[in-house]
Amino acid sequence: MRKKTIVFNWKMKPETVGEAWRIMKAVVAAGRKARGDIVVAPPFVYVAEMARMAKGSGVEIAGQNCFTVGAGAFTGEVSPTMLKDVGAEYALIGHSERRALGEDDKFINKKVKAAIEAGLKVILAVGEKKKESVREAVKAAGGQVRQGLAGVAKENYKKVILAYEPVWAISTSRGAKEAEPEYAGKVMTELGRRGMPVLYGGSVTAENVGDYMPLADGVLVGGASLKVEALQKIINSL
């Protein structure tokens, strides 16, 4: 069986580096004994520090985003080359909260290519905006996968993990509730046909993680990744 992966996406939290240390310490302690791969995606300003803390523990670090080129006159952006240099192994690309800020599939595709070029692995997030049918969801999310990976050489597919996150199931979108495992499972089976691992994301908690683990190659966790007890339970669910 394929090794499972848990990605903890901290989003724009926690508010202090002191709090980031506290959470990271717990991840590292639980991560050392984990039966799968653990990846933490902290805000950019904490990446170098968190990578130092995680060194040697097996826990890996992801940027929550990256720019489309290695260096240049792009004020406010962070390049994949920089992420790699300070110890990140992954870039999370195409998260729905980035798409909501205007990132389209073409832009996301450039980021995917730049990240791979810089030696990072990619977590490509996809998902339908509204709940319709499994068929519609596969069409929307599958289209994002196709466009996100356009022009990426097949041999690089092994550097890509897909995160299926139905946008309506992400806790930050108002009134969200996790997708029914059966529904998510069907969509993920289709998305997995290209051979890449598929994670489930959207309102994963310590309580419901057990519903998704058997259906997916792992989970992408937002809100619950900042709560020590919850993240420990999620890691132990592997």
Active site residues: 95, 165
**14 sits near ligand PGA (criterion: CB under 6 A):** no
**165 sits near ligand PGA (criterion: CB under 6 A):** yes
**201 sits near ligand PGA (criterion: CB under 6 A):** yes
ω into residue 166 within 30 of 0, thus cis? no
| Residue number with CB closer to ligand PGA (56 or 102) | 102
Selected from 222, 226, 230, 238, the binder of ligand PGA by CB under 6 A is 222
Burial readout 96-118 (b: 16 or more C-beta within 10 A, e: otherwise)? bbbbeeebebebbbbbbbbbbeb
If binding means CB under 6 A, how many residues of this protein chain bind ligand PGA? 12
Instruction: For residue 42, give both structure tokens.
Output: 């902290």
Q: 63: helix, coil or strand?
A: strand
Selected from 134, 223, 233, 237, the binder of ligand PGA by CB under 6 A is 223
Per DSSP, 234 falls in state H
**162 sits near ligand PGA (criterion: CB under 6 A):** no
**Residue 195 — left, alpha, or beta (φ > 0 → left; ψ -120 to 50 → alpha)?**
left
Give the Cα separation of 62 and 9 in Å (integer): 9
Select the span of 136-144, 153-161, 198-206, 209-217 touching ligand PGA (CB under 6 A).
Answer: 198-206
**171 sits near ligand PGA (criterion: CB under 6 A):** yes
**218 sits near ligand PGA (criterion: CB under 6 A):** no
Question: Binding residues for ligand PGA, per CB under 6 A?
Answer: 9, 165, 170-171, 201-204, 220-223
